[in-house]
Chains A and B, each alone.
Chain A
Amino acid sequence: MEEISLNSKKIAEYLNEGKRFDNRKPEEFRELSIETGVSLNAEGSARVKLGNTDVIVGVKLATAEPYADSPNKGNFMVSAELSPMSSSRFESGPPKFPVIEFGRVLDRGLRESGFINWEALCIKPGERVWTVFVDIYTINDDGNLMDAAGIGAIAAMKTAKLPAYDEETKKIDYKNPTENPLPLNNVTPIAITAYKIGNKILVDPTREEQDAATARVTIGSSDGIISSVQKGEETPMTPEEMGEAFDLADKAYKEVFKNLEKQIK
C-alpha cells in the first residue's frame, strides 16, 4: 500500500504540471487492438487489448419465456468476471460489489442507447424470445478494464450470428449459425470513463493512474447522445469537473469509434 500512495502522490504532482508518465494527452487512449471470433463456440466474441489491459468478451444466445411486462421483447444480461488470473488483487468467490457494478454499468450503457432491436429478438410473442448473454472475462488488468470490456461487448455483439432455431422442437442448433446477425440498430454506445486525479481529469488510466484516482464517472454515449452515466467513488466533483469529464469522453469517443469501425468488419 505504501508503494501505491507514493506512486499516487508522484502521479498527481506530475499531472498538475500537465504531464502523464507515458506522455499521453488527458483524452488520449492507449493503443487499442480488437480481435473478433476468438472463441468459436460463442455466437460472437472479441479480445480487446488496451495497452497491457486485456479482456475477452463473448455473446451467447439462449431462448426463454419473455418477461410479463415485455411479451414481445428479448432479454439481455451482461455479467463480468474480474478473473483472479488477471491480477493478484482479484480473488475467486462470489461476486462482490465492484464486479456487480461493472456488469450493471455496462448493461445500462448498451441497453438504454437503443443499440439492441428488442422486438426482433422475439420468436413468438408471449411465449419465446431470445436471451442475449454478454459475458466478460478479464485476462490482464493494467487499468480501465471497464472501457476495454465495453468496447469488447460492442465488437462481440456486432459480429454475433444467431444460431438456427427449430420452432417445432424448440431446440437451438448451435453448430449451425445462420447468416442473421444479432438485430442491432445503427448506434454504437461506447462507455468512456473519466477519472479525477488530484485536480485533473483524464481517460484510460494505467493501473497506477487508476490507483491515484479519487473519483470516476462513466459516460455511455453514441454520437453525442449520452444515455447512461455513473459517478463512482466518494470524492465529489464540481459541475465544472463533470463538464470537463463529458468533454473528454466526447473527444475520446470519436477516436475509439473510428478505431472500432476500422478494426471490425
Chain B
Amino acid sequence: MTEFKRMDGRKLTEMRPVAAQVGIIPNADGSAMFKSGKTIAYAAVYGPKEHHPRNQRNPKKGTLRCRYNMISFSVNDRIRPGPSRRSTEISKITEWALAPALMLENFPGMVIDVHINIIQADAGTRCAGINAAAMALAHAGLPMNDMISSVSAGKLDKTLVIDLDKAEEDFEEGEGPTDIPVSMTHSGKVTHLQLDGKINKEELKEAINMAKDACEEIYKIQKEALKNVGKLIEGDKK
C-alpha cells in the first residue's frame, strides 16, 4: 500500500492546497470563495427573505434553497449555460448537506437562497461549493448550530486517498478510481455522502475516517477566513 505514488506527489491523506476568503460579493448578505487546488467555488447567500412562490412555503420552518452552477468555461468542453440534470441533483445534495447546521425553525415561511458558481473546475467541485456555501451562511450571520466541511475521499486501484483531482478521477489502472464526496458537521456527523466506483465496507469506513480528518483541516481554514473577513487565508504548505 505504501508503494502507491500519487501523480502530483501528494501523500495519501494530503489535500490539495486550499484557500478561503469571506466577503467577496458586496451585494450579498454573506459570501465566500473556497479553492482546492485548481478548483474554485464562489458562494453568495441572500436571505432569509419572503418565500416565493407562496405554495412552496413551509409554515413550520424556513427553506434552504441552493443553486449549484458550473460556469460555461470552467471546464474544457464548454457547458451550455442553464441547469442540467447533474447540477439539479448537486443543488439538492448541497441543500441536504448544509441544512442540518442551520436553525431553520427560526424562519418559518422564509427562504434562504444560496447561489454557488464554479469558476474553475478540476474535480471536487461539489465539495468546494459546499465549503464556500457554509462560510457564506455563517458570514450572513445566520444562526447555526454547527459548521459544515466537505471533502472527497477516494480509492485509486486499491489505495485509499483523500481529495481526488481530475487526473486522479480519470485514473484507469487496476480497479480504477472510486470517488466518495463526504460532508460533515464539525461534531463529526455525516450530512452528505455519495460514492461512485468499487469499494468494500471496511475500506469505506476507513475512507470516512480519512475524510473526517481532512474536514477538520478544512474547518480550521473556514474558521480563520470567517474571523478575517476580506482576507485570503491559505492552508499550511506541506
Are A and B subunits of one complex? yes
Contact of A52 among B26, B42, B117 (CB under 8 A): B26
Contact of B71 among A88, A92, A137 (CB under 8 A): A137
A140-B25 CB under 8 A given contacts A39-B71, A40-B120: yes
User: Which A residues are in CB contact (< 8 Å) with B46?
Assistant: 84, 88
User: Which A residues are in CB contact (< 8 Å) with B43?
Assistant: 85
Write out, one digit per residue, whether chain A residues 188-228 have a CB within 8 A of any chain B CB (1) or not (0): 00000000000000000000000000000000000000000
Q: What CA separation (Å) do A45 and B82 show in the bound complex? A: 20
In the assembled complex, A175 has its CB within 8 A of some CB on chain B: yes
User: Which B residues are in CB contact (< 8 Å) with A133?
Assistant: 72-73, 78
In the assembled complex, A38 has its CB within 8 A of some CB on chain B: yes
A79 near B81: Cβ-Cβ < 8 Å: yes
Q: What CA separation (Å) do A195 and B125 show in the bound complex? A: 40
In the assembled complex, A41 has its CB within 8 A of some CB on chain B: yes
Contact of B117 among A41, A83, A94, A141 (CB under 8 A): A83
In chain B, positions 53-79 with a C-beta closer than 8 Å to chain A are 67, 69, 71-78
A54 near B74: Cβ-Cβ < 8 Å: no
A175 near B26: Cβ-Cβ < 8 Å: no
Contact of B73 among A45, A52, A87 (CB under 8 A): A45
B78 near A60: Cβ-Cβ < 8 Å: yes
Q: What CA separation (Å) do A84 and B43 show in the bound complex? A: 11
In the assembled complex, B102 has its CB within 8 A of some CB on chain A: no
A40 near B38: Cβ-Cβ < 8 Å: yes
In the assembled complex, B27 has its CB within 8 A of some CB on chain A: yes
In the assembled complex, A65 has its CB within 8 A of some CB on chain B: no
A84 near B120: Cβ-Cβ < 8 Å: no
User: Which B residues are in CB contact (< 8 Å) with A42?
Assistant: 73-74
Q: Can you list 9 residue pairs at the A/B interface with Cβ under 8 Å?
A: A39-B120, A41-B75, A41-B76, A60-B72, A83-B69, A92-B115, A135-B71, A139-B42, A140-B26
